[in-house]
Structure 1
Amino acid sequence: MDMQGNRQLAVTQQQAWDALNDPEVLKRCIPGCDKVQADGDNRYAIGMALKIGPVAAKFNGKILLSDINPPSSYKLGFDGQGGVAGFGKGSAQVTLAPNDEGCELGYTVNAQVGGKIAQLGQRLIDGAAKNLAEDFFKRFDEEMQRQHPENYAAKVVMGDSEAEAETSAQNSGVPVWVWVAGGIVLAAAAWWLR
């Protein structure tokens, strides 16, 4: 299974990097996770409950970070065992690129599954993996909002005022540029009549 994507975050590259390397943050953000513990240099032990279709299992695994380039990127290798449910192993390349809105988190995942999980079919597995990734990013974004509300407050204020203006114009059925042009014409007429 291969999966890739990216996500815009309102936090700085360093703030995102620190969070992605914090076991407690990861524990809160990974769906079904109940354990992320340091287990040596750039090694972590992880425990999580996972349900894909009719197969549910508790997975225990290891994560190893390599090719670490702070605060820009790292490679993550993982290997998890779920008993009779099967196993999952693979790697992910994670990148953080700063931009005007904060930073963009990009990822590319290559994974293999075996056991009962592999018998479920590729479409079901791919769908579950995408849902897990979306759930992780939603939780991670919420965690960043909790930890760095000042970054998100500015984004919301700017976004809400633009959205309100657009919604107001759409509800009236008159394009925004007409309101702006009309305002300019009225101001010019008032000045001329003086």
Structure 2
Amino acid sequence: MDMGGEERIAAPREVVWEALNDPDILRQCIPGCQSLEQKSPTELAATVKLKVGPVSATFSGEVTLSDINPPESYMISGEGKGGIAGFAKGSATVTLLEDGADTLLRYATKAQVGGKIAQLGSRLIDSTSQKLAAQFFADFNKAVVARVSQA
């Protein structure tokens, strides 16, 4: 499944870039995130609890940043295992464009699921994925704006 979108953030691009690379900000914004630990500048370990339809599972996995072009873009990819529920893996290309004093964040994602969770049907999985992505970027926007107003 592929999807994308954009979010206008009332902050300079450098501030948005810093937030995209801040594990504390990401932990606050990832829906269901229970832990996010930086292992290196480009690797994180995550535990996320999600509910898709009737299936609830805790996924543990790795997140990697690649194709890093500060402060313009990067690719974030991850893979998590949720025990009997199955697995989820995906990636997102994130691009930051200056638009006056604001930043336009554009994203394009690809995701794949397997196991019990995949049996729920692609429409439910697609709609849940879109909702989670929209929630992440809306929460990220609020966190960045809050950071700017405190500075």
2:96 & 2:88 partners in 1: Cα distance? 25
Q: Give the counterpart letter for 1:80 in structure 2.
A: G
1:150 & 1:35 partners in 2: Cα distance? 25
Residue in structure 2 matched with residue 58 of structure 1 by the alignment: 58
Q: Give the counterpart letter for 1:49 in structure 2.
A: K
Asked whether 1:129 is paired with 2:129, we answer yes
SS of alignment partner, residue 125 of structure 2? helix
Q: 1:34 to 1:99 in 2, by over 3 A?
A: same
Structure 1 contact 97–103 (Cα < 8 Å) conserved? yes
Structure 2 contact 9–145 (Cα < 8 Å) conserved? no
Residue in structure 1 matched with residue 84 of structure 2 by the alignment: 84
SS of alignment partner, residue 31 of structure 1? coil
Larger of the two Rg values belongs to structure: 1
Displacement of 1:133: 1.1
Displacement of 1:90: 2.2
2:111 & 2:120 partners in 1: Cα distance? 15
Q: Compute the TM-score of the two structures, normalised by the length of structure 2.
A: 0.95
Residue in structure 2 matched with residue 188 of structure 1 by the alignment: none
Structure 1 contact 9–101 (Cα < 8 Å) conserved? no
1:38 & 1:104 partners in 2: Cα distance? 26
Residue in structure 2 matched with residue 16 of structure 1 by the alignment: 16
1:138 & 1:94 partners in 2: Cα distance? 14
Q: 1:36 to 1:122 in 2, by over 3 A?
A: same
2:53 & 2:67 partners in 1: Cα distance? 35
Asked whether 1:6 is paired with 2:9, we answer no
| Matched-pair identity in % | 46
Following superposition, which runs of at least 4 residues in structure 1 exceed 2 angstroms of deviation? none
Displacement of 1:40: 2.6
| Gapped regions of structure 2 (runs ≥ 5) | none
1:64 & 1:141 partners in 2: Cα distance? 22
Q: Give the counterpart letter for 2:80 in structure 1.
A: G
Structure with higher helix content: 1
Q: Give the counterpart letter for 1:28 in structure 2.
A: Q
Residue in structure 1 matched with residue 144 of structure 2 by the alignment: 144
Structure 1 contact 95–106 (Cα < 8 Å) conserved? yes
Structure with greater contact order relative to length (CA < 8 Å, sep ≥ 6): 2
Structure with higher strand content: 2
Equivalenced residue count is 151
Displacement of 1:88: 0.7
Residues 98-107 or 79-88, more deviating: 98-107
Structure 2 contact 7–141 (Cα < 8 Å) conserved? no
Residue in structure 2 matched with residue 37 of structure 1 by the alignment: 37
